[in-house]
Structure 1
Amino acid sequence: MAARRNIYGRRQGRPLRAGRKALLEAALPRLEIALPADGRPLSPGMLFDPLPERLFLEIGFGGGEHLAWQAAHNPGTAFIGAEYFVTGVATLLGQLQEQGTEVPLRLYIGDARDLMERLPDAVLDRVFILFPDPWPKARHHKRRLIQRETLDLLARLLKDGGELRFATDDPGYLSWALQRLSDHPAFAWQVAGPDDWRRRPDDWPPTRYEAKALKAGRRPAYLRLLRRPRSGAAE
């Protein structure tokens, strides 16, 4: 297998404050997902007991404010957060602690695609990819998360009718993503006009990255796509 292209930047920023470091050390051992060494699939039953009604995945949750909000507003739903940035993991745990949210949650620290490849078919109800690194230089476009291979993975993992949410404030990445999402037979873009992708839905809370983009004069786009029903034929 060819070496996988890195889609992430640095692993950690400033040193963690003592309280956040202690929280990370205390909580992470029971929340972190370790992939089976023998290559076995990773079923929801191995992660959650009891099994949840719904399962959401957020890829690259950053500071965790979106994931924490979704956890507080979706009872009966379990969450997997995949993040490479250790500081973001600690920040998410701090937010959950502050809001007193008890939620079925597991965390994967690393490349989300490694986790996704081990999950079974049709297991996810919703996937969030919000403001990923746009890798704006042409020579880095191969590192963008939205690629045909990743979309194939998402198509396999989402249930029929499951939802993919994608946001970006980078016009070049928006064009790139729209082309690939529109070309993929498994996804149906939920759009009837500009308001459908320029206005954030009520159940889609703001993030710090969105605030930063707006402050800089960049207008984000918010895409919602549904997984088309499987026909039984190869896609």
Structure 2
Amino acid sequence: MTEETERRNFYGRTHGKTLRASQKQYLAEDLGRISLSGVTRDDNPARAPLDLAALTGGRPLWLEVGFGGGEHLVHMAARYPGVFIIGCEPFVNGVAMLLGKVRQAGLDNLVIHPGDVRDLFDVLPDACVEKCFLNYPDPWPKARHHRRRFVTPGYLSALARVTKPGAEFRVATDIPDYVRQTLEEVPPAGFDLVRQAGEGEAWEDWLCTRYEQKALREGRAPNYLTFRRQG
């Protein structure tokens, strides 16, 4: 990625409302166990690639970029116990919410990176991810902020490097202009559009998240885009 891209986050704030006592407990007791080591620059200054065989046990690797409160991530991990999923989310409140869900579900086929997905991209080997999810990303609605969106060349080139040929990339958003930019930017990065659907036509294994529920309450229609990595 360029230096310009590295200075620009695709996410906004990393802290929100004051955490509940239970959420603080989850962070204190569970975050270390479920966090992926060797991702941050402090843990891995040489940026050595992760040992995915040891991490996944040979299972297919999926990735969720920005898992929000963790509903979809936990749903997919529970539905597909034969895969291994990494979730990235810098928002502390969302991480705390996820930890509570994981504890309740008793899952052992997911880990998280509670930070910037670019750090994870740095240490993932080439062509290792078989499916990637981008669900209701920060829309950055102002035109001058569109360069901060995930669907820009810096992020997408990194995603293309770590995804296998034929890998699926799903994008869900309620913002028409985010759909426009996704359709413009993702194909040149090496992905073919295979399906574009609207409300009521989500993926068969889709879980309606709290962000989608909010969009529906406020009259915004969901869009579901499916891309396939070329190669």
**TM-score under structure 2 normalisation?**
0.90
2:18 counterpart residue number: 15
Q: CA deviation at 1:159?
A: 1.2
Deviation per residue, 1:38-89 (Å, 9 max, x gap): 22112313534xx142111101000100001001100111111100001111
Residue 154 in structure 1 maps to residue 155 in structure 2:
no
Residue 218 (structure 2) aligned to one of 216, 224, 228:
216
Q: CA deviation at 1:162?
A: 1.0
Query: Are the counterparts in 2 of residues 188 and 226 from structure 1 also a CA contact under 8 Å?
Result: yes
Residue 193 (structure 2) aligned to one of 172, 189, 196:
189
Query: Are the counterparts in 2 of residues 56 and 77 from structure 1 also a CA contact under 8 Å?
Result: yes
Deviation per residue, 1:203-229 (Å, 9 max, x gap): 111111111111111101101111122
The one-letter code matched in structure 2 to 1:94 is: G
The total of aligned residue pairs comes to 222
- For the residue of structure 2 that corresponds to 1:127, the secondary structure is strand
Distance in 2, matches of 1:67 and 1:96, equals 9
Residue 56 in structure 1 maps to residue 75 in structure 2:
no
What is the RMSD of the two structures over their aligned residues, measured on CA atoms?
A: 1.6
1:39 counterpart residue number: 47
Query: Are the counterparts in 2 of residues 52 and 76 from structure 1 also a CA contact under 8 Å?
Result: no
Query: Are the counterparts in 2 of residues 72 and 101 from structure 1 also a CA contact under 8 Å?
Result: no
Query: Are the counterparts in 1 of residues 150 and 156 from structure 2 also a CA contact under 8 Å?
Result: no
1:233 counterpart residue number: none
Structure 2 residue runs of 5 or longer lacking an equivalent are none
Distance in 2, matches of 1:33 and 1:103, equals 13
- For the residue of structure 2 that corresponds to 1:190, the secondary structure is strand
Q: CA deviation at 1:7?
A: 1.7
The one-letter code matched in structure 2 to 1:95 is: K
Distance in 1, matches of 2:74 and 2:31, equals 16
Structure 1 residue runs of 5 or longer lacking an equivalent are 230-235
The one-letter code matched in structure 2 to 1:188 is: D
**TM-score under structure 1 normalisation?**
0.89
Query: Are the counterparts in 1 of residues 81 and 109 from structure 2 also a CA contact under 8 Å?
Result: no
Amino-acid identity (%): 43
Relative to 1, partners in 2 of residues 1:197 and 1:181: Cα closer, same or farther, differing over 3 Å?
A: farther
Deviation per residue, 1:15-38 (Å, 9 max, x gap): 211112111111111221232222
Distance in 1, matches of 2:10 and 2:119, equals 12
